A and B are shown apart, each in its own frame.
Chain A
């Protein structure tokens, strides 16, 4: 003790050094130490207790009385919503939310048809120039106003840009006029015949009285908009006046915005998210205890897009070689654990009769043939190229990484250039200043919308596909009144995409949805929407 004391004197400036004093001091110091530890422990303890609280809080969202009506669900989404104006919305992530708030004259069904919604019935004139809708009566907007024909006219005029001259939805640009007709009918007259406009008339009907629909999203859908907190949640509540009997079931739907799939996955496990779409198959397999895993075709075209206008991909032989060099099967198993449908042309099997199934296996993985084709194209030693991918979509970057690895086997060095989304849109999509890219293409559930982007002068033909025959057939479809003829033409278009080797179309990823056990009725749509009006709790067992 004394020895210690002496050594301390120099540094520590403790004048008097009696043994007893020193012991006392050590005792005190220990006390301080203990106190400090106690405070810290208490602090940690309190907070870890508190942080367990959410687990208890989110125990059950099912209705208390065991009824199938009531209760609430939390749906996880990973894209930040940006717009609630249904006419200007373009982001798929926004559409999946507002599908529950707004409705159009017709509505997409889970099997990919369009059925009357705010219209009771419709007719299309022989010459495909006039569409007439019989408007449903007694429908109320979320603000209590009754929906009238005038609202329908206003909404379609607004979306088609009849008053401003610039359409908000370009598919509606051929509308000449929208007028009241007959008893409770609305007629839409076109500039040119178009037998296939119906899918695009799902355009939302909004009240005339609301001037800023983006700030106050008011529609006729099964749920009303309640609140939006950036990066946190969008909350919808039940529309008690919904025109369709018996639905919706839930009182409240929260779209919870998570940063990525991983955080959503952890929240699924912890119980704070009930439904999560577009789940990674590998993660879905870990959730089978508490969740039903539902899946369906997503009508999404995942493509290794080659710029047809730029060397070396301006050479069809090179593009054909790429199609043989990419091993679709192993790509899908790496990327999606196999949960994707192989495709070879620009349409998904989800499109039913429009889809040309004879093109399946148009290319079989064959690196030897790819090398041969490259030799014929004048690249006996392969070549170097870049693939420009949007860095915020890990999925596409991953796909590009795998493709680059596969192409190395045929001597093609693919360098990955990852750019942010804004740059991608500008460089690749708008300026078409790129060699190749990986992207997923979505569209309205209409064959025309799917195949429109390969018309040589289409604004969204970013792969620069150019085929006179394609353009001719595509433009003839519009005025063709016979559905069977149109189907044949669409199938022919897909063949052209393959014979010209437009790009490497590789999969339609399956949409895998985790739905908590006890929730019933969720259906997967072949388009990017979440229909929550039919979801409900199973209620008390009889």
Chain B
């Protein structure tokens, strides 16, 4: 129980620090949002009206306190540019980015698990070496370069998809998933390489454990040993690896979204930064960072449930 408590306190502290970093960062940012909203030809009167409207005249602590207490109740203020509640915009765009990330994660698992098992079958042999070299090559492809090259090869040359085409999930769900597939693949490829590597190492380590040998010597078949013991147990250390991968996938999705013209959180974020839309940028950053922290937390808890030894460390 002690462990959970400690982790929870850590979680809260981290979240507070994250919120302070986020808020302070945008407090000192230069540029006048009123001018940006109204554009070059607005008169001074229009500008003053708007500044007053947006509450840009208040002091730092007042604004921070209002923001944090708002954030706790799900109210992140109103976007300066879109004049819509930030939470509503997040609600519109976050599902897109999360779907992309989730699909990338799924692809990563679906491809890396079989590959990892294959590679661990005969370590050091041709297949393993090949996978290892390929893995190292693909691992070093930046997702957005991969995305550009995929647009070029798969989109423009082979015409497998229409570059830049995006179908909203409100229009058609299969169409939405389809338009996310190649972007997700671009995000997933480097991660497949890394998770395959870890899985292979983990399976090999597990295979050597005494209980496996013992089970086998009592006549357990290889396949059974693999399916019943080795794979489940080798997945435990993978949990941590996958949380890191998940967070990286989120980061990768941000850039890949831009390449594929997917109207997810990333385009919103870049727009928000470019036009100095503080509430929106803060909201997005806080949300993404907060989510990562919570995912890490949940992964730790899960890890400790699966493997109680963790709690003693």
Contact = CB atoms under 8 A, between A and B. Distances in A.
- Is A–B contact present in the complex under a CB 8 A cutoff? yes
Interface of A: 8, 11-15, 25, 28-29, 32-33, 35-36, 39-40, 43, 47-48, 50-55, 57, 80, 82-83, 88, 90-91, 161, 164, 166-168, 170, 214-215, 229-233, 257-259, 262-264, 266-267, 270, 272, 392, 420-423, 425-426, 429-430, 459-460, 462
Most chain B CB atoms below 10 A, which of A51, A88, A425:
A51
Given A90-B41, A423-B30, 8 more contacts: A11-B124, A12-B122, A15-B217, A50-B181, A51-B181, A82-B81, A230-B92, A422-B31
Interface string B202-243: 001001100011001100001100000000000000000000
A25 B268 CA distance: 53
Nearest to A92: B39
A52 B182 CA distance: 12
A229 B91 CA distance: 11
Contacts of A39: 110, 114
Nearest to A50: B178
A229 B213 CA distance: 59
Contacts of B33: 422
Contacts of B37: 82
B165 A43 contact: no
B48 interface: yes
B74 interface: no
A-B pairs with lowest CB-CB distance, top 5: A263-B164, A231-B263, A50-B178, A36-B114, A422-B31
Given A40-B111, A90-B41, A266 B163 contact: yes
B59 interface: no
A285 B40 CA distance: 33
Nearest to B42: A90
Nearest to A14: B222
Given A36-B115, A43-B110, A166 B213 contact: no
Contacts of A53: 172, 174-175, 178
Contacts of B244: none
Contacts of A13: 207-208, 212-213
Contact of A460 (B40, B82, B166, B268): B40
Interface stretch (B8-16, B246-254, B270-278, B282-290): B270-278
Contact of A263 (B38, B44, B261): B261
A8 B82 contact: no
Given A13-B208, A82-B82, A230-B93, A422 B276 contact: yes
Contact of B174 (A11, A36, A50): A50
Given A170-B46, A232-B263, A421 B167 contact: no
Given A57-B175, A230-B82, A15 B213 contact: yes
Contacts of A264: 164
Contact of A272 (B31, B83, B114, B165): B165
Contacts of B49: 164, 166
B160 interface: yes
B265 to A, nearest CB: 10
Contacts of B41: 90, 460
Contacts of A33: 114, 118
B301 to A, nearest CB: 31
Main secondary structure, interface of B, reads helix
Given A80-B271, A231-B268, A426-B32, A214 B83 contact: yes
B278 to A, nearest CB: 11
Contacts of A43: 107, 110
B162 interface: yes
A51 B35 contact: no
B268 A54 contact: no
Given A25-B222, A36-B118, A214-B83, A430 B38 contact: no
A12 B123 contact: yes
Contacts of B82: 82, 230
B222 A425 contact: no
A11 B111 CA distance: 25
A421 B274 contact: yes
Name which of B42, B168, B182, B273 has the most chain A CB atoms within 10 A of its CB.
Answer: B42
B177 interface: yes
A32 B118 contact: yes
A11 B263 contact: no
A459 B175 contact: no
A343 B32 CA distance: 33
B89 interface: yes
B139 interface: no
B263 A421 contact: no
A82 B84 CA distance: 10
B109 to A, nearest CB: 12
B83 A82 contact: yes
Given A259-B267, A272-B165, A170 B213 contact: no
B117 interface: yes
7 contacts: A47-B181, A53-B175, A392-B274, A420-B273, A422-B32, A429-B35, A459-B43
B36 interface: yes
Contacts of B35: 422, 425-426, 429-430
Contacts of B70: none
B195 interface: no
Nearest to B115: A36
Given A40-B111, A54-B162, A422-B31, A28 B178 contact: no
B167 to A, nearest CB: 6
Contacts of A29: 118, 121
A421 B49 CA distance: 21
A35 B223 CA distance: 15
Nearest to B176: A50
B162 A270 contact: yes
Contacts of B26: none
A54 B175 contact: yes
Contact of A266 (B36, B48, B83, B164): B164
B54 interface: no
Nearest to A430: B35
B110 A54 contact: no
Contact of B46 (A8, A166, A214): A166
